[in-house]
Structure 1
């Protein structure tokens, strides 16, 4: 704005003729120029003096000059002083606002913000020395921060624009704005164009992004994997001969101990690409059967590849009204459901939840589980049973593993009514060395009684499920390895297997009739 335009706008403003648009331009110009503000105050002062002089008619006294009475002059001075003070105050407020914007340091954006699905267990360790001694905000990472995910899923959002979905168990460290170390975990990364060069280091590999979408898989005692899903990456082996590979089409690599890579197909199905609302799970509703096939749904990345089939049908209708929709009816004649899902391995946390209805009037083979998977011969099984209990006067729930088992006390589940049954492993050991387990019946945690072992030796109480032994069986419903031609007799509904230990609150919601989350 030129000097002439500025003076013209001030003049029109004082005459009450300035348009709203021109007033906004004038106000903006005053905020930007100290010289303009000084000139504006001078013009305001002059205008006020002239206004006071011209607004009062002159009094003519015979024989003397025109004189303004002293009382009126005092009022004029007071009014002028008040107006000047108000204008100076307004100008100072504008000036202070400008200085505040220039001097006050804007809130610094954290390098990484994360959020977790419900019932995830996350721990974060920040570097010992952080700037100004301040602790970083919750759910953020700074350079050097380490995030450990015991169960569940987290979504990572870096300030560079990189987004990642990481599934437990996981252990990662933020090394910088555009670099991360992943010691363990299944992690999917989406890298926008502006963040090209983002780098992920695993124990055996350095993966540099060239504008892409990729995933890494690494765990103790296994070989690291990288899967290019879209775009380009460069992969460098960190050991041995330190081979380098550039990938431009979807494919995968395994890093061998010698420093070389072995090509494998890219498996997009191994990775989650969104944050699920709860722990990853698979769900059999038993609402329909199509030529023996049952639907498997859920948020676990394996769900699209899981097949479930009713084998050796008894000839009677396999479906019956359940808690929600239809339920599976097994007749104990060798009929059962077999899947191709190997189950959850090792001592990783898990939850099995289902509705069950049983009639206790008939004999029951305790070797027949409701649900189970793993290796029997190698003491690496994980099974949920309903077994006879003299004190309860009927059948109670039991977790069976290794050569030990844990049963509820005096809580009968074979009274012909629907009961909600949940078996949980927390993936850790108690002070006595036994695994931390829980059984909930109808939403209530029940006391457990330990059986098995020998002469106080609880070495078979360790929870370590083997899913890759020669005798390992996948997830079976209503059938056990040693049960011969027998199978479970009763009704089952809404079977859900979670990759992680549900909280007591989440279990109570399921027992109250809620269904698992449906997905995104």
Structure 2
């Protein structure tokens, strides 16, 4: 009888093509007699399949998780030609013997993931098991499947009992029944206690949990975020120092590029927990302009918008060379580097994840402010600092924060000798962008190619007026 350790060692050598012929007969016999050994073989076969399609393209499986599921390989020995041919023939024989039973076993298993899309959701599903370009059939995903969501929302039901809601645009891959890589998107998950060791990976972090409700946001231009609503999860950064952190209920963390963690406000309102009956149509219109000329939009900075004169609550900005987030809303575009003595950077110098929160207040009518337009100007002489990437949240009076706009605009080259300007304008389709707002928060994103992914934000202007809602003795109407 072969023990588990010897079985795994022989299976590893078998798939590596290094199993000695005298051990092959013993392996074949134990697989024929022992159901548990055959189950172990199927696990190795699946792992071998994963490694095979990884070798065909970019390395998408996180190294941390690969090390976790991949057993140590024995030393590789190179058999003589005769032994190699015999081992190869034995491999073919074993695969032929087990092919029928493997197919029957696969068909008898419940699919690891079923999905349901809300009406109008744009999706595309492909599988590594299917020929290139062939779409998978049916509302199920097998390991190796990739799913893309354009506009819309999707519900995920795992055979383990895990449930998730993913909002597009999104892209994710199912590696195993308990391992999902979210490359991009906003997703909510409920993991029951019985679904031990369910994991979610993003380009920035790995989440391991048993019995938790949480949300995760992944976007290449911004820091990955995890928001925990019930239970707790273990979060590990995939960058820098690769630190791990236990994130508890009612808290949220963002994974910084250094491998450290940044505490952020928990935002339940950013996640859906059920499919919407009808996908809401966005009211936001984003227009973008760029110029290779430095300071091309310097005359468009406003000194009388809603943010003028407000001192924001800030985190994470670079303050070298007299750069300051206070200059983001001062109504002055600013000159180039060292053009003004004593103030070498006349603008705000971002880092990925830097924030500024502006508290408008409830206004003269107690109903906050109606926002009609946002204008953002970035500019610099070189290194891609004239591009821009940011998100904006707004807080209606007496309610929770909600996302308003997300911008990634990088038309300017990042070479040391290239500079220029960008302008982004955000409006609403009906002329009304956001209603009854008492606070605004911006978070700087990641500009591809620029130094440390930052940019020089010259001006952020938010236009609008007090919400005109009559106030009676019984409160707002």
Please, what TM-score do these two structures have when normalized by structure 2? 0.41
Larger radius of gyration: 1
